[in-house]
Structure 1
Amino acid sequence: MGPELTVPPIYSPIPPAIHPSHPAIDAQTTAWAQAIGIGSDELRGRLIQHDIGTFAARVLPDGREAVIGILSDFVLWLFGVDDGYCEEGELGRRPGELMAALQRLLRVAQNPEVPMLLDDPIAGGLRDLRRRISEHGTVGQTALWVNALREYFSTVVWEAEHRRADSVPDLNDYTLMRLADGATTVVLPLLEMGHGYELHPQERDQKPVRAAAEMASFIITWDNDIFSHSKESRSTGYYLNVIRVLEDHYRLTPGQALDLAISQRDRVMRLFMRVQERLLPAASPQLRQYLHNLGTFIRGAQDWGTSSVRYTTPEDPANLPTAFRETPTDTSDEPVDIPAISWWWDLDLLRTDAYFAAHTRLAVSHSSLSGEGESHPGRKDSPVPG
């Protein structure tokens, strides 16, 4: 059994929100999981109790219901892979075999018509998800989703190697991998689909926007590690968590590691809010919507992480907060001392507002010249936040 830690209220300047159809979305995901047959009966029974539809409804609180349903089913599918294939299954300690299994799944995502894994429920669920994503997204967004899935799979294999060796990774490596192995990047194309628009690559890939998306991934995964530490550390198997990594890297007690993890995520949260504020004035309506939903993704993960039985574990209650704090524990503007992400602060400390405006206007100019980045014809979009 791991150390007993009490997680204090976490800093969150983003207001909560939820789509009004969340009960129906959650029920639909339960029915989908049962119909597809995701995981074992025991694993599936656990997953459908985790209110995953509520999580998806918090991520896209004013999005299109059909896409929120896809997101909800997809998150449950991801847990089926992560819990079933990796953490609890034999493949979780066999990185070579796991890589082969995940590559077969990736081929299904790339080409759903391939005659492979036809009797595998995980592959069947992925085929259904790919079909629905293609219906509601563009060719480019579908390709982004497949590529992000490839990135997620590669980090899962990296994690399996540490599980096999029972080793704790370097902090910088863990941070870099956590940006993808939390499966946050696989959700990003669905943020666009949820409102029926497509960001032009000149907007999506510009450095400040890419940094904002990475910051959102960092905050979500650090928060997830903080909220899930009790469940993970009490399990009998290997676990990989930022608190364990910080303990090992700096020779800290669990309590000190928790405090440091909170300090790190607070600094990144403050930076995310500043970068978002600087991007908004010259941003296109589509980019404003995207930045808004990066925020709802962060807050949605926080609300779900502190309330879902996946992390509160009622049979062995975790000491999680029931409220959030309005001020950060760390107000420093200095970069977090992790090389993989310290460049984010260059945007904040070394660049002017004119830099953000120029880069954003350049992206909008490219978008208007090409005719891309517009809402899809025939789709009714929700109002874009100002």
Structure 2
Amino acid sequence: MGPELTVPPIFSPIPPAIHPSHAAIDAQTTAWAQAIGIGSDELRGRLVQHDIGSFAARVLPDGRESVVGILSDFVLWLFGVDDGYCEEGELGSRPGELNAALQRLLRVAQNPDVPMLLDDPLAGGLRDLRRRMSEHGTDGQAALWVNALREYFSSVVWEAEHRRSGTVPGLNDYTLMRLYDGATTVVLPLLEMGHGYVLDQDERAGDLVRAAAETASFVITWDNDLFSHHKESRGTGFYLNVVRVLEHEYGLSPAQALDLAISQRDRVMNLFLRLRKHLMPAAGPHLRQYLHNLGTYIRGAQDWGISSVRYTTPDDPAGLPTAFRDSPVDDSDKPLDIPVISWWWDLLPARTAPVDGLPADVASAGARRGTRPGRKDSSVVG
């Protein structure tokens, strides 16, 4: 059993928002999971209690309801893989066998008509998701999603190798793989589908936009590690978490590692805001919408992370915050000493004055200190 840690309120300058149909979306995902048969009865019974529909509804608060529903079902499917295959299943410590199983699923994602795994509920769920995505997006967006799914699968196989050997990776490797094993990148194509546009391929692949997406992924996954630490450390099996990685990397106590993780995510949160501010003036409507939804993705994950029973664990209450702070504990512009991401800071000139002139959803956040999840905000993109 791991140490008891209390996570303090963290910096969250982006106001909360949620799709008005969040309750119906959550109910639909419960029905979908039952109909498909995701996971064991016990695992599925837990997952449908996690309010995953509200998470999707926070990520796309103004998106098309049908796509928010796809996102909700997909997130539950991901937990079916992560919990059922990787963390709790026998394959979780057999990287070779896990890789083979995931590659078979990937083939279904690439072509839902392939005649294989016809009696496998996870494959059936993936087949259904892929077909629905084709109805709401383009072939190019589906290909982006499949490629992101491949990255996610390869990263959880990497994690399985550490689980098998009981080793803790270095911070640089962990940071790189956390960009993918947190399954953040597989959500990004759905941000576009949710509003019915296709982001220009060259624009999406540009360093600045890619850095904005990666900084958002960093904040989301570091926050998830903070919020999930209690649940993971109370278990009996091996777990990987930034708190544990930082303890191992620098010889820190758990409390010191927690403080350092918060400092790191605050510094990257500030960089995300600066990147978004830099991109907005010249951005077209599609990129503006995309950048806006990177923000709602960050805040949606935060609100869900401190409120879902997946992390609050009522039977053994986690020390999670119930609100957020409106200022960072670390507002430095200096790059983090993590080589795989230090290039993010090279894209912008050093800041000589406080961030101002932010998009409306950020500029209006100053009066929202201590806001709690669930409040609908009226701000619009830029």
TM-score range, shorter chain: over 0.9
Q: Which residue of 2 aligns with 1:2?
A: 2
Asked if structure 1 preserves the Cα contact closer than 8 Å seen for 2:333 and 2:351, the reply is no
Distance in structure 1 (CA, Å) of the matches to 2:380 and 2:188:
17
Residue in structure 2 matched with residue 252 of structure 1 by the alignment = 252
User: 1:339 aligns to what SS in structure 2?
Assistant: coil
Displacement after TM superposition at 1:347 (Å): 1.3
AA matched with 1:261: A
Structure 1: state its 5+ residue gaps.
353-382
Determine if the alignment matches structure 1 residue 107 to structure 2 residue 103.
no
* Aligned match of 1:293: 293
Instruction: Tell me the alpha carbon deviations over residues 169-209 of structure 1, each in whole angstroms, 9 at most, x when there is no partner.
Output: 01000000000100000000000000000001111111100
Give 2:303's aligned residue: 303
Q: How does 1:346-385 map to 2 (within 5 A)?
A: 346-349=346-349, 385=381
CA 1:111–1:100 in 2, change beyond 3 Å: closer, same or farther?
Answer: same
State the AA in 1 paired with 2:13.
Answer: P
1:332: Cα distance to partner?
1.2
Distance 1:113 1:43 in 2: 27
Counterpart of 2:222?
222
- Match of 2:340, SS state, is helix
384 and 132 in structure 1: CA distance in 2 versus 1, 3 angstrom threshold: farther
> Residue 74 of structure 1 aligns with which residue?
74
Verify the 8 A CA contact 1:39 1:121 in the aligned structure 2: yes
Question: How far 1:248 moved relative to its partner?
Answer: 0.1
| Structure 2: runs of 5 or more not aligned | 353-378
**Contact 1:25/1:54, CA 8 A, preserved across alignment:** yes
What's the CA shift for 1:348?
A: 2.2
Contact 1:36 1:125 in 2 (8 A): yes
Q: Within 5 A, what are the aligned runs for 1:157-172?
A: 157-172=157-172
Deviation at 1:349, TM superposition (A): 2.9
Match of 1:363 in 2: none
Alignment match, 1:14: 14
In structure 2, give the amino acid aligned to 1:68: V
What is the rounded CA distance, in whole Å, between the counterparts of 1:151 and 1:329 in structure 2?
A: 32
CA distance in 2, matches of 1:172, 1:349: 24
Measure, in 2, the Cα distance between the counterparts of 1:313 and 1:127. Answer: 32
Distance 2:196 2:249 in 1: 44
Partner amino acid for 1:183? A
Give CA deviations for 1:25-72 in whole Å, capped at 9, x if unaligned: 000000000000000000000000000000000000000000000000
- Whether contact under 8 Å (2:333, 2:350) holds in the other structure is no
Task: Map Cα deviations across residues 303-322 of structure 1 (whole Å, 9 max, x no partner).
Answer: 00000000000000000000
Alignment partners' CA distance in 2, 1:331 and 1:211:
18
CA offsets 1:357-381 (integer angstroms, 9 cap, x no match) = xxxxxxxxxxxxxxxxxxxxxxxxx
Say if 2:171 and 2:246, in contact at 8 Å, map to a contact too.
yes
The residue that corresponds to 1:127 in the other structure is 127
The aligned counterpart of 1:328 is 328
Instruction: Indicate the residue corresponding to 1:153 in structure 2.
Output: 153
Q: Tell me the distance in 2 between the aligned counterparts of 1:268 and 1:30.
A: 35
Task: Encode CA deviations 1:203-249: one digit per residue, 9 max, x unaligned.
Answer: 11111000000000000000000000000001000000000000000
In the alignment, the residues of structure 1 paired with residue 191 and residue 114 of structure 2 have an alpha-carbon distance, to the nearest angstrom, of 28
Cα shift at 1:385: 1.8
CA contact (8 A) 1:289 1:384 kept: no
Q: Does 1:181 align with 2:194?
A: no
One-letter amino acid of the structure 1 residue matched with residue 66 of structure 2:
A
The one-letter amino acid paired with 1:385 is V
Match of 1:355 in 2: none
Aligned residue pair count: 356
- For the residues of structure 1 that align with 2:337 and 2:223, how far apart are their CA atoms? 18
Length-normalised TM-score, structure 1:
0.91
Q: Distance in 2 between matches of 1:168 and 1:186?
A: 25
Structure 1 residue 275 and structure 2 residue 275: aligned? Answer: yes
Determine the C-alpha separation between the residues in 2 that align with 1:325 and 1:6.
Answer: 15
Amino acid in the other structure paired with 1:26: D
Once the two structures are TM-superposed, the CA of residue 384 in structure 1 deviates from its matched residue by 7.0
Paired residue secondary structure (1:15): coil
Identity fraction in percent:
82
The one-letter code sitting in structure 1 at the alignment partner of 2:16 is P
Shift of residue 331 of structure 1?
A: 1.5
SS of residue matched to 1:187: helix
Match runs of 1:54-73 below 5 Å: 54-73=54-73
Q: Which residue of 1 aligns with 2:318?
A: 318
TM-aligned CA deviation for residue 101 of structure 1 = 0.2
Matched with 1:97 is 97
The 3-state SS of whatever aligns with 1:190 is: helix
> How far apart, CA to CA, are the structure 2 residues paired with 1:271 and 1:105?
36
TM-score (norm 2): 0.92
Q: Distance in 1 between matches of 2:348 and 2:248?
A: 30
Give the aligned partner of residue 232 of structure 2.
Answer: 232
- In the alignment, the residues of structure 1 paired with residue 76 and residue 172 of structure 2 have an alpha-carbon distance, to the nearest angstrom, of 29
Query: Conserved in 2, the CA contact under 8 Å of 1:219 and 1:269?
Result: yes
Q: Amino acid of the residue matched to residue 6 of structure 2?
A: T
CA distance in 1, matches of 2:137, 2:112: 16
Code of the residue aligned with 2:221 in structure 1: it is T
- Amino acid in structure 1 at the alignment position of 2:144: L
Aligned to 2:365: none
Separation in structure 1 between the aligned mates of residue 349 and residue 285 of structure 2, nearest angstrom:
26
User: Segments of 4+ in structure 1 off by > 6 A?
Assistant: none
Report the Cα distance in structure 2 between the residues aligned to 1:190 and 1:103, rounded to whole angstroms.
Answer: 22
